[in-house]
Structure 1
Amino acid sequence: MAYLLPLAAVLIWSGNNVVNKLAVGVLFPAEIGFYRWVLAGALLTPLMAPRLWRFRHQVKPLIPRIIVLGLLGMAVYQTLAYYAATMTSATNMGIILSLMPLMALGLSSALLGLPLTLGALVGAVISLGGVVLVVSSGDLAALVARGINQGDALMVLATFAYAVYGVLLKRWQPPLPAMLLLYLQVLVALVALFPLLLLSPQRGASVEAVPLVIYAGVLASMVAPLLWMQGIARLDPSRMSLFFNLMPLLTAVIASVLLREQLTWAHLIGGGLTLAGVILAETWRRPLRRAAGVSLPGSADS
């Protein structure tokens, strides 16, 4: 049952990649990035404000860590994704997020001392190959010559931010109810993004903007992060993040229906590689330390 948590979260976030793209021309990135947290905060405050008062003594020493988590997971990741949507496709955004396992594997090993498995390592490399194929549109020489475009680069930074968020959340494991922890991170995002809203151009509210903000503010901002945090409490970050490999496939399907984005052979093969990576990582659990004869950080013989 623990695997259903990240799967449901990834499904919601896949839809949010499409919402990010749909928001282009309707709301500026700073607008939807701020308004989604306003909606989430407004819905959570009546429920969480009394609980926050009861847990105020437990919360106080955790404030620095909550600020870091809120900035990484709610402010930096989400805002970079909105700006990336103005310069790249929803399909590319979903596929780039499959870099998450490779990033989380290295961070988990370095920060948590978790042992790597051959399947996880090889699966992450296969996923990386799929991402490179998509970002290059099947032309690796052109990618080397012109480099990665700005939208794809922003998604790489956003993905790294969320990988760090997941690993820190697992390492710190703040002893607070999940909903309260989510609420506190929403408050951090509101404070952090308000200056950006003031400095950015604004289009204002419109009929087209309302469903986009509702999806982002309720499902993507409240339901999916809660599912993800619950999953991290049961599974290690590297295994959790491997579910991001399903996002390319889910995003591509949704984008092809709603945005009419055309799937190329590079998308199909690259998406297939990322899916193969998650299957390999979940079925091949042989410890890397025993197979390669090397010690890992945190291992008994290191």
Structure 2
Amino acid sequence: MARIAPLTLLWLILPPLLWAGNAVAGRLAVGTVSPLLLNALRWAIAALILLPLGWRILQAGSPLWPRWRRFAVLGLLGMGSYNALQYLALTTSSPINVTLIAASMPVWMLAVGALCYGERARHAQVLGALLSLAGVLLVLSRGDWDTLRQVQLVPGDLYMLMAVIAWAFYSWMLARPGPGERDWPWAEFLMAQMAIGLLWAGGAALGEWTAGAAHLSWNGWVLVLLAYVAIGPSLIAYRCWGLGVAAVGPTIAAFFGNLTPVFAAVMSAALLGDPPRWFHAAAFMLIAAGIVVSSRR
């Protein structure tokens, strides 16, 4: 098995934990903040926080502008698409459907790697994907497989499928940096993505507003929600995810992403006063087994 350093494990575990909170926040925001406006506000606040550290990359003559097309795609896939589509999905789809579709991430990572980057999927990776997916299904079914038969697809499910595919391409692009990008300070590399991604997110929010679908109700709860989604799932999670993908590759990293529904289930249990059940522990072991198997040389 390829050894994963403890610090790398932290980089790969923190994003799913923070993204689980992001899914809960996105669901709670329904009816208070429209999804595309929420995404734009999230990245605008995150950009303002990061600006003191990453402003140099926005100067004329910086290495960003000769490769602006690459960062326009990165910004579209990561900041402009994934979270906007997820927030859209949560307005019409149930949490179980959204998490089921997100659980297919390792499969899409393998497919994108094979089709676009010439990376052949190993048998261990396929087996790891199946084990990890089984763990997620166990959580979603709450130990009762009949629950999965009741799932009905709605338009939000398509949004989430598009989001997962966008994230697979984004992660592979991170794993294939352009010349000299590995030497950029992390804040400048993230700022380059965020600045252009904010244009995509802002354009989508403007379209939502023009269509009369945007709404925002200011209150103390909304401020707390925006602060969380701008700092935790955005700045911290994206930084850690970039480090983790660079260390182990996008395919193995995708298996850690399947910890998100497990964390979400635990959070929901805590918020509802319902203690974790046996299937939470069993699912964690299955997902962990998927990570171990997929990491085998």
Identify the TM-score tier after normalising by the shorter chain: 0.7 to 0.9
Deviation at 1:131, TM superposition (A): 6.0
1:85/1:93 contact within 8 Å kept: yes
Q: Which residue of 2 aligns with 1:43?
A: 49
Q: Distance in 2 between matches of 1:15 and 1:192?
A: 24
Q: Which residue of 1 aligns with 2:229?
A: 216
Q: Which residue of 2 aligns with 1:183?
A: 191
Amino acid at match of 2:286: A
After TM superposition, the score normalised by the length of structure 2 is: 0.82
Q: Distance in 1 between matches of 2:267 and 2:232?
A: 16
Q: Distance in 2 between matches of 1:202 and 1:15?
A: 22
Deviation at 1:28, TM superposition (A): 1.0
Q: Distance in 2 between matches of 1:252 and 1:141?
A: 19
Amino acid at match of 1:12: L
Please tell me whether residue 118 in structure 1 is matched to residue 123 in structure 2.
yes
Q: Distance in 1 between matches of 2:285 and 2:90?
A: 23
Q: Distance in 1 between matches of 2:64 and 2:104?
A: 33
1:87-135 alpha-carbon deviations (Å, 9 max, x no partner): 2344543443221111101212333333433222012134445667849
Residues 1:275 and 1:247: Cα distance change in structure 2 (over 3 Å): farther
Aligned length: 280
Gaps of 5+ in 1: 288-302
Q: Distance in 1 between matches of 2:270 and 2:109?
A: 31
Q: Distance in 2 between matches of 1:120 and 1:277?
A: 13
Deviation at 1:169, TM superposition (A): 1.6
1:90/1:255 contact within 8 Å kept: no
1:117/1:286 contact within 8 Å kept: no
Please tell me whether residue 11 in structure 1 is matched to residue 17 in structure 2.
yes
Residues 1:242 and 1:21: Cα distance change in structure 2 (over 3 Å): same
After TM superposition, the score normalised by the length of structure 1 is: 0.81
Amino acid at match of 1:153: L
Mapping 1:7-156, distance limit 5 Å: 7-53=13-59, 56-90=61-95, 92-128=97-133, 134=140, 138=146, 148-156=153-161
Q: Distance in 2 between matches of 1:278 and 1:81?
A: 25
Q: Distance in 1 between matches of 2:167 and 2:294?
A: 25
Residues 1:201 and 1:51: Cα distance change in structure 2 (over 3 Å): closer
Deviation at 1:172, TM superposition (A): 3.2
Q: What is the percent sequence identity of the aligned residues? A: 28
Deviation at 1:19, TM superposition (A): 0.8
Amino acid at match of 2:28: L
- RMSD over aligned Cα atoms: 3.0
Q: Distance in 2 between matches of 1:156 and 1:261?
A: 31
1:220-253 alpha-carbon deviations (Å, 9 max, x no partner): 1111001111111111110111101211110111
Please tell me whether residue 245 in structure 1 is matched to residue 250 in structure 2.
no
1:98/1:274 contact within 8 Å kept: no
Residues 1:282 and 1:121: Cα distance change in structure 2 (over 3 Å): same
2:97/2:153 contact within 8 Å kept: no
3-state DSSP class of the match of 2:158? Answer: helix
Alignment equivalent of 2:202, drawn from 190, 194, 203: 194
Q: Distance in 2 between matches of 1:37 and 1:99?
A: 26
2:57/2:63 contact within 8 Å kept: no
Please tell me whether residue 168 in structure 1 is matched to residue 168 in structure 2.
no
Q: Distance in 2 between matches of 1:262 and 1:157?
A: 33
Amino acid at match of 1:160: I
Gaps of 5+ in 2: 1-6
1:46-77 alpha-carbon deviations (Å, 9 max, x no partner): 222135438x3421222101000110011110
Residues 1:4 and 1:139: Cα distance change in structure 2 (over 3 Å): closer
Mapping 1:198-277, distance limit 5 Å: 198=206, 199=210, 200-258=213-271, 260=272, 268=279, 272=282, 276-277=286-287
